[in-house]
Amino acid sequence: MEGLPRPGRCLVMGILNVTPDSFSDGGLYMDIRCAIDRGLELAAQGADIVDVGGESTRPGARPVGLDEELARTVPVVRELARAGVCTSIDTMHAPVARANVEAGARLVNDVSGGLADRAMARTVALAGVPYVAMHWRAPSHEMDRHADYDDVVADVVAELGCRLWQLAEQGVDPSRVVLDPGLGFAKRPEHDWALLAGLGALRQLGYPLLVGASRKRFIGAALAVGGAGEVPPGGRDMATAAVSALAAGAGAFCVRVHDVRAGLDAVRMAAAYLEHVDRDRDPGL
């Protein structure tokens, strides 16, 4: 996609949460210098994009004010961009997206797909940068109450299709849109697995797909064996890499991960695998 690296394989987006309360790295990079160093480290480890976020979206999380979100993200994005790192801004708020694009962010990653802030579509259209529109139903503090689906894959395809239509109406260039099924957002583990297994159906929409599975609860739950409780977030990186390989093997355009080294190995394996797939025998790939 224009404006983003083109390594010839699924992209790896490294996660950098400048928040006190994200579910797995909250509080680690609240200091701006620590956050910048972490961003540089992710880039050195091979992240194609470093995704900077200043507001936690964990289930139950409360919103932060715009000033706080700006203060957490803009200095980090500016410094990383200055150092030549391709950065994205993870925000639901148009003013935060705008300020970070001005500071050098090359992509806007909006977990609400434009639903949380009606000014987002126009802002992205004017900025002319790639835009990740994720499937979203409700703010974090109430999203668990919205996890009802008839057929989660069909419902997510339909709801994203509706988003695409509205984004195009507001001037967002379709060639700059990346879609995301929104794993863990108003989804229970069985929904996350169905969406992962249904990436082929999502690809039918005709847009590149981003998959954000890293360390999420459905992975911790699947790792729990023999009645043991969920494996905590810090113990989910190898399993996340396996999921990244599955997603990239199913044609994902980008995976969003905490452990960049493992994620990069995973997408490289998927690329090697896909090179050997006989598309005449398996036209779905």
Residues classed as catalytic: 216, 256
Q: Does 124 bind ligand PMM (CB under 6 A)?
A: no
Q: Which of 48, 69, 90, 237 contacts ligand PMM by CB under 6 A?
A: 90
What is the spatial distance between Cα 23 and Cα 187, in angstroms, rounded to a whole number?
A: 16
Q: Is 40 exposed, middle or buried (0-12, 13-18, 19+ CB in 10 A)?
A: middle
Q: Does 111 bind ligand PMM (CB under 6 A)?
A: yes
C-beta atoms surrounding 233 within 10 Å? 20
CA angle centred on 94, ends 152 and 204, rounded to 5°: 30
Q: Binding segment for ligand PMM among 3-11, 53-61, 150-158, 219-227 (CB under 6 A)? A: 53-61
Q: Binding segment for ligand PMM among 17-25, 79-87, 92-100, 113-121 (CB under 6 A)? A: 17-25
CB-based contact 51:15 (threshold 8 Å)? yes
Q: Which of 124, 143, 210, 266 contacts ligand PMM by CB under 6 A?
A: 210
Structure-token pair, residue 142: 């109430």
Q: Is 96 exposed, middle or buried (0-12, 13-18, 19+ CB in 10 A)?
A: buried
Q: Does 100 bind ligand PMM (CB under 6 A)?
A: no
C-beta atoms surrounding 77 within 10 Å? 29
By C-beta, is 266 or 277 nearer to ligand PMM? 266
Q: Does 233 bind ligand PMM (CB under 6 A)?
A: no
Residues near ligand PMM (CB under 6 A)? 15, 17, 22-24, 53, 57-58, 90, 109, 111, 132, 134, 180, 182-183, 210, 212, 214, 256
